[in-house]
Amino acid sequence: MAKDVFLGFIPALIIFLGISGYNVGPFVFLFFIVLAGIFLFSDKKGNILGLRRDGKSRAHAVVKTNVKFEDIGGQERAKNELKEALDFLIYQDKIEQYGIRPLKGILLFGPPGTGKTLMAKAAADYTDSVFVVASGSEFVEMYVGVGAQRIRDLFDEAKMLAKRNKKNSAIIFIDEIDVIGGKRDGNGLKEYDQTLNQLLTEMDGMKANDHPQILVIAATNRKDLLDPALLRPGRFDRHIIVDLPDKNARKKILEIHTKSKPLATDIDLNQLSMETYGFSGAQLESVANEAAIYALRENKLEITAKHFSNAIDKVLMGEQTDREASKEEKRRVAIHELGHAIVAEKVKPGSVSQVALRPRGQALGYVRHNPSDEQYLHTRKSIEQQIMIALGGAVAEEIFYGTRSTGSKNDFDQVLNLIQHMIETGLTSLGIVNTNYVAKDELVKETNEILDLLLTKTRVLLQHHKTVIEEALDQLEKEEVLSGEEFRQMIDKISKNEKSQIV
């Protein structure tokens, strides 16, 4: 508003002075200098030095988040640890008796989509605090001092809102804090270095007897990128990992997101939690939502297991495409996927959930795996099994066609990454090594030896079960989808027939 008045009044004043006979040359020069400054230091919305026209920061603030910890499925350990830290904010009189210093900052870190933002909102509800949220990217501009000013405004606004709404505390949530909190290179001249310095200054200035009390909660996917000064005690005191949910947590998340949805009687959330191994909370919410969309498309009154199966595939692979492969290409893809599936069933029985010959995303076909157990540590044997499963597609093509195709590229990338992981974790004949100090020839030799050994084992296994591929091929080409149970029954049936012929 003030800028608009300035731009309208000053030219009119200069014209008036010129008509009255005054020398307006210096005034015109000064006006254009000021106008150039406004143009350079303003963004498209008219904000100067990172402020809105009302003088406030760009942070989003709410008095009541209406998100409770009970609304967040799983993450029991993380929720309990966060609640304990928040109790220091609620029961200030009690902690003073023990001489406990109130926490200034809590860092939530973990993979994307695991519920870090939801937990911050629940923290505000739990403590009855004003909730002010900003993203790390909002503090970084090309002009020096803008980010630091925004940090000051953020803290001022949180205090002002808490006082205005008669709250005893305010929670400032900074998402993507790695944008401004990354490790510094020492020159101190970069804009985000000054922004980080201001954040550290504001946190250092927080006192136990402040009213209202401020608590900073930050979230990042990469804790290792953060500056040590930000992570030391007295700033972000608590580091809470918000990890991918395990099987029981996935079931609880699915229960929350399907509570208001009309589910058919064939829905087994326990089975769905097994089939969604490795999914984040956000992905599970998307699965429930996409399943409902599939039911709506078909005008069904209930959401069935088929809808959930399609939803899982969509979240994993993308929407089904209209690409039509030739008959010969489709047959090669079917053989490729059956190669993956057979190896998977033999090295990890019961792990195949579905074999599909439908194009999704960039894939012409795929095998959805369903591990029976949650596994967090891997031995050399378990990694070799993963490598053999990845090699199964290309080896099956070699057995039937004598050659491979470009469809194995992603499989080979996965194989090489797994072998590199084996070397880095000391699970190969090289022993415990730092790959930076090992000759490249030795690494290549070790990689080739592992590959040759596992290619041979995979080839022997698939040659022994070539009949299964031949039998399953026709059905897969016709139906385009084989459930894991159907596939296992087919393997058992063929194995029994072969044994009876031998007898």
Long-range contacts of range 77-83, CB-CB < 8 Å, 24 or more positions apart? 78/108, 78/119, 78/240, 78/241, 78/242, 78/243, 79/119, 79/122, 81/238, 81/240, 82/106, 82/108, 82/119, 82/123, 82/238, 82/240, 83/126
The residue annotated as part of the active site, out of 138, 285, 337, 384, is: 337
Contact 1, 53 (CB under 8 A): yes
Residue type (1 letter), 66: N
Residue 498 three-state SS:
helix
At residue 217, φ and ψ (nearest 5 deg) are: -115, 130
**Pseudo-torsion of CA 474, 478, 479, 482, nearest 10°?**
20
What is residue 361's DSSP assignment? T
> Per DSSP, what are the bridge partners of residue 356?
366, 481
Going by DSSP bridges, is the β-strand pair 130-135/236-241 parallel, antiparallel, or unpaired?
A: unpaired
Residues 345-371: b if buried by 16+ CB within 10 A, e if exposed:
bbbbeebbbbbbbbbbeebbbbbbbbb
CA distance 423 to 451: 13
CA distance 103 to 86: 8
Structure tokens at 391: 């090699």
What is residue 209's DSSP assignment? T
Element housing 311 (H / E) = helix 305-317
Question: Is 337 a catalytic site residue?
Answer: yes
Q: At what angle do helices 327-347 and 440-464 cross, to 10 degrees?
A: 100
Active site residues per annotation: 337
